[in-house]
């Protein structure tokens, strides 16, 4: 039983590192800038989570690696969601939560993270998430 738990944790860690590496690769960041890829992931995940209805948020989270799911739900207050954010509001909040200068600004950070997440969940789930977004925000989503 303990071996299975360690294996599950290692698998989640590997999948999380793959997600962070995908973000880094999109920017050409070296691994020593992992704090930036983590900040980008965390910021966009939290804003996406808070924009989604509770049921859809939980369904989306079920497809994330356990470690990323923990990041996703950290600080979540289900009674406070969904928060109505349009595209400009979302990008403003990304800029507030991501304190680094990155090529393309908050719009590119958002697109890179969303594209990365899209590749790590099923197409059907991604479509469900996209359909819950206002049209101007959905345009940022691959």
pLDDT digits (tens, 9 = 90+) for 40-69: 999 999 999 999 999 999 999 999 999 999
Average pLDDT, the chain: 94
The average pLDDT across 121-139 equals 95
- What are the boundaries of each domain within the chain? 1-139
Helix locations, 28-86, DSSP H: 34-51, 54-61, 66-73
* Model-wide pTM > 0.85: yes
The whole-angstrom separation of Cα 69 and Cα 86 is: 24
State the residue for tokens 């999380």.
Answer: 16
1-139 CATH: 1.10.490.110
């Amino acid at each position: 039983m303990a071996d299975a738990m360690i294996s599950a944790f290692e698998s989640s860690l590997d999948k999380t590192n793959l997600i962070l590496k995908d973000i880094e690769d999109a920017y050409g960041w070296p691994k020593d800038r992992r704090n930036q890829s983590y900040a980008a992931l965390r910021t966009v995940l939290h804003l996406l989570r808070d924009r989604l209805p509770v049921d859809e948020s939980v369904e989306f989270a079920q497809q994330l690696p356990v470690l990323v799911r923990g990041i996703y739900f950290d600080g979540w207050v289900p009674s406070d969601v969904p928060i109505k954010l349009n595209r400009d509001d979302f990008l403003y909040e990304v800029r507030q939560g991501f304190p680094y200068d990155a090529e393309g600004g908050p719009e590119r950070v958002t697109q890179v993270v969303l594209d990365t997440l899209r590749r790590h969940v099923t197409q059907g789930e991604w479509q469900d998430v996209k359909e819950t977004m206002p049209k101007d925000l959905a345009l940022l989503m691959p």
